[in-house]
Chain A
């Protein structure tokens, strides 16, 4: 390789990036650790002249707070549901797209459209589609003004309408809506990566399989998936990292309350918890963020370990 006496050159090339990262990324991380270790730290109080002592009180408060575990549970549930579903669906769509000729480009374009949207704005569109307008749902005095387009479609096909996101809706219905929206949001990126992977697989493998008369399913399982495994690992890992940071999609559907009317915070996530605490309790927010970082770190390590065993480079 290149002689290492020129390594100062590398540092020069890297200097703008490193300088900016030091200022706007590394220092905030240090400061976060500092704030998390100052018991009960709040920047308003600090501005008012209060001094704080060192300790792990923030971590204790966060972990003992009942809603934090709920937030963590929601986050994990959404991760565990949306990552496999979106990955499988994306794989299916990518494989199908790869197998057709006419309309391929048009369909590709359509599948990429959600990629260019603001998740809060389109979340409002989704919310409007699932929203029921009326009063006293499920009670004897129920009045339905409009059941929402999704329920209209369900009723059109003979189903019964579901209270998706309104007052009195069930946790399961809420989760279903969130899964649909998050998967919808996550598909474009995954299709993009997987289709790119598929198209770069050497045609010779398939030709060889054809000559051998191998069945499609076997081809898929024995050739496509192994050769695609680096991309699959990539979308799963980024999917988990993104999933643990889930926040704005829930704001998009349920608003700042992070839950249906009557039960706010029901769908709150860890990042939502951090945001809530960020206002007046920067110490707690910092502690929660570090806990989240730890979780993501461990999950990513596990993912990498598993994918190293299963991935064929």
Chain B
């Protein structure tokens, strides 16, 4: 092998690395371009909601929409808060959200534990049956459930908003997948040590699956926040009304049309806590929900 041949090879190598670097940078630029474009598309409706919420009615109805409001009318927000009695609605929703989340967590943990760690006859059949119920359109439960809660005399109570939806097959499924990733040896070792199931659950399984539990908590709270059809049907009095429902009620008068900027302001106020929770706890949601993928 001659010297000149060697240097030629070296030169080729260098060319390749320069080329590779250019390609790499180009790819990065394209990646960002694509991602940022998509992000703008995704975020635009929120932007539109926000700017509409501070416009005057006249500006909102203009021929060529203004991309940035000429004057910022924060009074829409004050008006929205007053008109919808949002304070009371917030408290009601918070109460229902917290209580139903706590109870739901207990039930979900116990069930997921049974499915993940215990052996019993008909386990797989039962689990399959539970999953099958997820496929049924929930709208259909409404009529029958209404009759049931009425017979139980639960109308216009917080109970009726909490109990019927305590069990979510989806959350049991989520948590079971998570529990199953924890090595069974740990459990068997604990059994040998004479640790009780509950203690084992509390000391080992719950800490190890905390991200999933947190994400279940958030999803459940969000559910309370966004629920609409059921609360309207069973607890539509002032004392128990929830936020989405109250929002709609506030903007339905017997005559007259709706001031859309004020309505947008109310929607924005209601959306804000959710965004906040989401931004701060994003990590847990990611970890929890992504672990629910079909693994194990």
Contacts and interface: CB of A to CB of B under 8 A. Distances in A.
Interface in A195-227: 195-197, 199-200
Interface stretch (B7-15, B41-49, B74-82, B90-98): B41-49
A300 to B, nearest CB: 7
A216 to B, nearest CB: 8
**Most chain A CB atoms below 10 A, which of B36, B64, B139, B274:** B139
B43 A110 contact: yes
B135 A241 contact: yes
Given A96-B35, A292-B137, A10 B271 contact: no
Nearest to B294: A230
B65 A20 contact: no
A69 B39 CA distance: 37
Contacts of B62: 146
B232 interface: no
Interface in B240-296: 244, 260, 264, 267, 271, 274-275, 277-279, 282, 285-287, 289-295
Contacts of A99: 27, 31
A16 B107 contact: yes
Which one of B63, B135, B278 has the greatest number of beta carbons of chain A within 10 Å?
A: B135
B278 A115 contact: yes
Given A115-B278, A192-B286, A196-B289, A10 B244 contact: no
B10 to A, nearest CB: 18
B274 A10 contact: no
Given A108-B282, A187-B42, A116 B275 contact: yes
B83 interface: no
A7 interface: yes
A113 B42 contact: yes
Contacts of B106: 16
Interface in B121-152: 121, 123, 126, 130, 132-137, 139-145, 148
A93 B35 contact: yes
B279 A109 contact: yes
B16 to A, nearest CB: 10
Contacts of A152: 64-65
Contacts of A154: none
Contacts of A179: none
B135 A32 contact: no
A18 B244 CA distance: 30
Interface stretch (A53-61, A161-169, A274-282): A274-282
B119 interface: yes
A167 to B, nearest CB: 19
B137 A28 contact: no
B45 A122 contact: yes
Interface in A104-159: 107-118, 120-122, 125-126, 128-129, 145-146, 148-149, 152
Given A43-B143, A100-B35, A197-B293, A13 B114 contact: yes
Interface in B89-115: 106-108, 110-111, 113-115
A10 B28 CA distance: 53
B107 A20 contact: yes
A28 to B, nearest CB: 4
Contact of B285 (A16, A111, A112, A278): A112
Contacts of A21: 130, 133, 167, 169
Given A109-B282, A116-B222, A28 B144 contact: yes
B166 interface: yes
B139 A274 contact: yes
Given A20-B166, A184-B42, A7 B121 contact: yes
Give the interface centre of B114, B133, B226 by most chain A CB atoms within 10 Å. Answer: B114
B72 interface: no
Contact of A293 (B52, B136, B286, B291): B136
B223 to A, nearest CB: 11
A81 interface: no
- Of A125, A187, A234, A274, the most chain B CB neighbours within 10 A belong to A125
B273 to A, nearest CB: 10
Contacts of A17: 107-108, 110-111, 167, 172
Interface of B: 27-28, 31-32, 34-36, 38-39, 41-46, 48-49, 52, 62-65, 106-108, 110-111, 113-115, 117-121, 123, 126, 130, 132-137, 139-145, 148, 163-167, 169, 172, 184, 187, 191, 197, 222, 226, 228, 244, 260, 264, 267, 271, 274-275, 277-279, 282, 285-287, 289-295
Q: Nearest 4 pairs between A and B by C-beta?
A: A196-B290, A7-B120, A28-B144, A10-B118
Given A4-B120, A275-B139, 13 more contacts: A9-B197, A17-B108, A21-B169, A100-B28, A116-B271, A117-B274, A125-B48, A128-B48, A129-B45, A195-B286, A196-B291, A200-B290, A230-B293
Interface of A: 1-4, 6-7, 9-11, 13-14, 16-17, 20-21, 23-29, 31-32, 35, 43, 89, 92-93, 96-97, 99-100, 103, 107-118, 120-122, 125-126, 128-129, 145-146, 148-149, 152, 184, 187, 189, 192-193, 195-197, 199-200, 230-231, 233-234, 241, 245, 247, 271, 274-275, 278, 282, 285-286, 289, 292-293, 296-297, 300, 311
17 contacts: A1-B184, A2-B191, A7-B121, A9-B118, A13-B110, A24-B141, A24-B148, A27-B144, A100-B35, A108-B286, A113-B42, A116-B275, A184-B45, A195-B290, A241-B135, A271-B139, A285-B140
